[in-house]
Structure 1
């Protein structure tokens, strides 16, 4: 039932972008809203995440064949590919297309240190860099070996003086 023959065009807006987890995996969620009383069919959304002030794409995601009901919103997730969150300011750049319509959805967001730490603790299958532990263990082994060699040299020298 309609009150007018005027066709209502859908309009998408980006409400918020924030760090979150989807099935205990780190992700960025962009809340996208269809603020008009119009159905959107066969929509494609592409999104890229950048560190503020940089041009390298950190993470990206594309979803096709989406539908969206009138006056609704949903969280579009961009997975971090099992990478940990790093605190900082980021930029979400998204493009939604449906038919001849195109919406540019950009928003800056910040991930705080304690927030990143909490999510990283809870995340499963997280790729963690243990390089510093390997370097520390290697340095300890080298110090122990040098200590043993110096001790043996000292003993040998002392023994040779005693004879």
Structure 2
């Protein structure tokens, strides 16, 4: 082979190498992403779930929830693989749910809670139907979830959820004696919640914190004040710290505090923040003041200094606890001892008056008898 042909061959080979580098590999990546064996698995006893990430799933999202970019009026069908790990047939129910805030976490709970008044586009209004999934042992089924976005556009983040639940009865043999066995039955109830995050735009929306109501109540048998907090914006709070103090205005030493940190707060939701008394403390009637300091770190957002200031709140509110409310709450505290001081004082006064009356009565009767005897001798 001549040197010119060799040089030409090298040139062609080099060009082929360059072309190979620019060949799209999206098809190969898609094949991997749609292979259910490659998915992160969500599991509870008796069943597991694998999410099929759609094309509008946010990049870099760990595949244990949906993070979708949507449009007003858009229709879409999501897919899940549900696999049975039980040794007997089971029925799994799936229901759409609105995200709520509970115990400092964002939950897609199966508990039916009405949406907060600020939630004008609840996830449960997207037309998702309840589903019943019947699985034989080790069976795998594909579940399709169809929804339609409202025509009204929104900025920020909407969070909903898919709640899956199963109940299975299992048995266990417990020996009564060597020759007898008792069969015990257990009803096992297991559930899983899959969050669904939706955004339509990249416009920054900041969360907000409002105090809606302050209600005295019993909390785990202790006197407490429940402060209903609301986040009316379509942005969740991350790294939320709360520092609350309740003070009785007539006695500044009658103070009760509660601090928490690293809470999460779902968008357009509310929860009740409890400020309990100590077990040995009595709730007094009167006027009180709530002082609440709060701060959300918002590590999921890139905020400047001015925006960070807007994620801090200082709230003061005055409220009243009536005697009827305080007495009812105090009676529920097993360590609370009713103060009978005034009752003892009243009883003591009555006893003294009774003794004085008896002395007077005896003295009066004795005097009359004496006077009668004197008259008779005359």
Structure 1 partner of 2:211? 14
Displacement of 1:107 after TM fit? 1.3
- Whether the 8 Å contact between 2:247 and 2:255 is mirrored in structure 1 is yes
Structure 2 partner of 1:71? 268
- Whether the 8 Å contact between 2:250 and 2:286 is mirrored in structure 1 is no
- Whether the 8 Å contact between 2:250 and 2:287 is mirrored in structure 1 is no
Q: Deviations over 1:99-137 (max 9, x none)?
A: 2321112211110011111111122223x476949x97x
* Correspondence 1:36 to 2:233: yes
Structure 1 partner of 2:312? 102
Q: Deviations over 1:67-105 (max 9, x none)?
A: 011111111111111212111010011011112321112
Structure 1 partner of 2:333? 123
Structure 1 partner of 2:286? 88
Give me the TM-score of the superposition, normalised by structure 1: 0.74
* Correspondence 1:52 to 2:249: yes
Displacement of 1:5 after TM fit? 2.1
Displacement of 1:55 after TM fit? 4.6
List alignment gaps of at least 5 residues for structure 2: 1-68, 70-198, 298-307, 353-378
Shift in CA distance, 84/57, structure 1 to aligned 2, threshold 3 Å: closer
If you compute each CA radius of gyration, which structure gives the higher value, 1 or 2?
Answer: 2
SS where residue 215 of structure 2 aligns?
Answer: strand
* Correspondence 1:62 to 2:259: yes
- Whether the 8 Å contact between 1:48 and 1:57 is mirrored in structure 2 is no
RMSD: 2.4
SS where residue 36 of structure 1 aligns?
Answer: coil
Shift in CA distance, 55/123, structure 1 to aligned 2, threshold 3 Å: closer
Displacement of 1:57 after TM fit? 5.9
Displacement of 1:3 after TM fit? 3.1
SS where residue 326 of structure 2 aligns?
Answer: helix
Give me the TM-score of the superposition, normalised by structure 2: 0.33
Displacement of 1:60 after TM fit? 0.6
* Correspondence 1:114 to 2:324: yes
Question: Number of residue pairs matched?
Answer: 137
